[in-house]
Amino acid sequence: PLPETLLGPFLKLLGPEGRGITGQALDSQ
């Protein structure tokens, strides 16, 4: 898994749709 420092900006670039399962996984941690 990528560090949150990379995932954060990456998910922001993807937008709400980009979060999807990855965003839910991060939120569940």
The one-character DSSP state at 2 is -
Q: What is the pLDDT of residues 4-14, one digit of tens each?
A: 777 777 777 77
User: From CA 13, how far away is CA 23, in angstroms rounded?
Assistant: 13
Say what the pTM is: 0.30
Residues 1/20, Cβ–Cβ less than 8 Å: no
Is residue 23 scored above 70 in pLDDT?
no
Number of alpha carbons in the 13 Å side-chain half-sphere of residue 15: 1
Residues 2/24, Cβ–Cβ less than 8 Å: no
Report in angstroms the alpha-carbon separations of 12 from 16, 18: 8, 8
The predicted structure's pLDDT at residue 18: 62
More confident of the two residues 19 and 12: 12
